[in-house]
Amino acid sequence: MSVSHADCSSWSYRLSGVRYDYGSGSVLEIDELVIPRGQSTCLLGPTGAGKSTLVRLLARSIEPSSGRVEMAGDAVGSDRRPSVAMVYQHPIPLRRTVFENIAYGLRVRSESRQDIQVSVDRWLEVLQLTDLAGQRADRLSGGQWTLVALARALVTEPDVLLLDEPTANLDPARVQLVERVVAEEQRRRRCTVVWSTHHLFQARRVADHVVLLWEGKCIEEAETKTFFESPSDPRTRAFLDGKLVF
Amino acid sequence: MVSHEIFPIVWLTLRVSGTAVILSAAAGIPLGAYLGLSSHVLARVLRWMAHVGMALPPVVVGLALYLLLSRSGPLGGLGWLFSPQAMIAAQTILALPFVVAIAASAVRAVPHGLAEQLRALGASPRQVRRSILFEARQGMALAVAAAFGRSISEVGAVLIVGGNIAGHTRVLTTAIVLETSQGRFAMALALGTALLAIAAAANAVIFVFQSRTGMP
């Protein structure tokens, strides 16, 4: 991997010896992993591979049982800690309007009413949700609500955007919309994006960098082109050939 | 009994039950919310105790309060026995478990993962707690409605600690008992109708609040 472990300007996360136990066993064991800064990284793997656990560790929603999840900005004397927003695989709406759901991250940051209005209106328009602004978010269809959940993360303009299978319940048109909007935002602000997906083709479309997880272990990480064209691990090769069923 | 006798009874009923609801809500909603958010074993025990408290027999509460407030009792110095204050205390004690239990359940009914998701959007722990309480607002309204229902319909405890003294501690429920015992059923029914009207009006306010905040 080309990212230097010593240069913290090039990475957003650095994991070493991370283990996460659940119940009687370990669901995630990662010796070393670096999430590059300002790039789109895809965590690829089948259901149960540990993708969601890894994303939640990056969001610091959970703590590792052992090992270290280091984030750029953690070190004393470094730049400010990057802001993080996450879209969960099963996002939970607040029982408020779509507008209020999207505005939530700005309200907790005490943004001005005018700034909130402008920012929320912009994301409503970008994600084609303007007509739904006044509707209760908990009464939307699954697809509509997923877009609102994405908007409420994007509106905070995070330095790191974590997406846990955000398109799993979307129709192809909305998948395309989400992929396009996230890619544009990532390019515009050079933010770090981490997607988890079990969809091979989506990884190829959205990622600069791919990490393959298998039974809680990271078995391959590489730039997207290298990952798909000349993977080093035989299991990756088998997976790309369709011999490992996802 | 004529209308000029009824209005003071209605007014005292509203004053006693209204104050009991305010006091039980002021203490019970924060306590219930805290117990709902906490997973500590003590919180579980207290939630169970609140559920038990919902089954407290009013006459037992009235008797206990009578003994506490009687001249020789530990709280006799307050001079509250046979006063509206004693009736408010009795109704508050009876309503409080309802508020605590329902408020705790309302908070616990908020989806489990919401707190984590709100933190992932940048909310502080304090902001998360406030948001969860706001999500439980309809349950909180139900807690207030239950407290009001428990208070205004209660008769055993207020009869014991209030004494049903005309013009002083006579409320609608105790007046109905008296009128019925004297065979004045028409007046008892009229008082009962007034009681129902108050209950309907109070719950209409709570129902409108719930509707505006999204209760189906």
Q: For residue B139, give the CATH number of its domain.
A: 1.10.3720.10
| φ, ψ for residue B128, nearest 5 deg | -65, -45
Q: A104 vs B121: CB contact, 8 Å cut-off? A: yes
Residues A217 and A30: their CA atoms lie apart, in Å, by: 6
Residue B150 — very low, low, confident or very high, per pLDDT cuts 50/70/90? very high
Cα radius of gyration rounded to whole Å, chain B: 20
Identify all chain A residues contacting B117, using CB atoms and an 8 Å cutoff. Answer: 86, 88, 91-92
Percentage, residues of chain B above pLDDT 70: 97
C-alpha angle A127/A133/A136, rounded to 5°? 115
Residues B136 and B110: their CA atoms lie apart, in Å, by: 7
Residues A53 and A63: their CA atoms lie apart, in Å, by: 10
Give tens-digit pLDDT for B12-45. Answer: 999 999 999 999 999 999 999 999 999 899 999 9
Give pLDDT, residue A243: 65
Number of domains observed in the structure of chain B: 1
**A54 vs chain B: nearest CA distance in angstroms?**
14
Contact criterion met (CB below 8 Å) for A147 and A127: yes
Give pLDDT, residue B3: 65
Residue A218 pairs in a beta bridge with A213
CB within 8 Å of B209: residues ≥ 6 apart? B141
Give pLDDT, residue A244: 59
Q: A91 vs B117: CB contact, 8 Å cut-off? A: yes
Q: What is the DSSP string of A189-246?
A: HT-EEEEEES-HHHHHHH-SEEEEEETTEEEEEEEHHHHHHS-SSHHHHHHHTT-S--
Residue A3 — very low, low, confident or very high, per pLDDT cuts 50/70/90? very low
Identify all chain B residues contacting A156, using CB atoms and an 8 Å cutoff. Answer: 121-122
**B97 vs chain A: nearest CA distance in angstroms?**
27
**Nearest chain A residue (CA) to B118:** A105
Residue A13 pairs in a beta bridge with A35, A71
Q: Please compute the mean of the pLDDT values over residues A124-143 and round it to a whole number.
A: 94
Give tens-digit pLDDT for A51-108. Answer: 999 999 999 999 999 999 988 876 655 556 678 999 999 999 999 999 999 999 999 9
Q: Please compute the mean of the pLDDT values over residues A202-230 and round it to a whole number.
A: 92
Task: With CA atoms as reference, report the closest residue to A213 among A225, A198, A234.
Answer: A198
Q: A109 vs B122: CB contact, 8 Å cut-off? A: yes
Give tens-digit pLDDT for B96-106. Answer: 999 999 999 99
Give tens-digit pLDDT for B81-136. Answer: 999 999 999 999 999 999 999 999 999 999 989 999 999 998 999 999 999 999 99
Give pLDDT, residue B215: 45
Residue A6 has pLDDT above 70, yes or no: no
Give pLDDT, residue A241: 77
Give pLDDT, residue B213: 72
Residue B144 has pLDDT above 90, yes or no: yes
ipTM score of the complex?
A: 0.84
Q: Longest C-alpha distance within chain B, in Å? A: 67
**B123 vs chain A: nearest CA distance in angstroms?**
6
According to CATH, the superfamily of the domain at A40-54+83-240 is: P-loop containing nucleotide triphosphate hydrolases (3.40.50.300)
Contact criterion met (CB below 8 Å) for A139 and A172: no
Give pLDDT, residue A1: 43
**B216 vs chain A: nearest CA distance in angstroms?**
11
Residues B58 and B155: their CA atoms lie apart, in Å, by: 8
Q: Coil, strand, or helix at residue A69?
A: strand
Residues B194 and B176: their CA atoms lie apart, in Å, by: 11
Q: A136 vs B214: CB contact, 8 Å cut-off? A: yes
Q: Please compute the mean of the pLDDT values over residues A149-164 and round it to a whole number.
A: 95
Identify all chain B residues contacting A106, using CB atoms and an 8 Å cutoff. Answer: none
Give pLDDT, residue A78: 56
Query: Does the pTM exceed 0.95?
Result: no
Q: B123 vs A86: CB contact, 8 Å cut-off? A: no
Task: With CA atoms as reference, report the closest residue to B171 among B189, B187, B184, B158.
Answer: B158
Strand duo A25-36 + A11-22: pairing: antiparallel
Alpha helices in A44-97 (DSSP H): 51-58
Residue A18 has pLDDT above 70, yes or no: yes
Q: Which of A95, A107, A160, A162 to mutate to test the interface with B (most CBs of B within 10 A)?
A: A95
Q: A90 vs B113: CB contact, 8 Å cut-off? A: yes
Residue A5 — very low, low, confident or very high, per pLDDT cuts 50/70/90? very low
Q: In this complex, which of B111, B213, B214 lies closest to A92 when CB atoms are compared? A: B111
Q: Coil, strand, or helix at residue A21?
A: strand
**Nearest chain A residue (CA) to B214:** A95
Give pLDDT, residue A195: 94
Q: Coil, strand, or helix at residue A29?
A: strand
Residue A4 has pLDDT above 70, yes or no: no
Q: What length does chain A have? A: 246
Q: A86 vs B120: CB contact, 8 Å cut-off? A: yes
Q: Please compute the mean of the pLDDT values over residues A212-226 and round it to a whole number.
A: 91
Question: Domain containing B79: what range?
Answer: 3-212
Partner B contacted by A110 (CB < 8 A): no
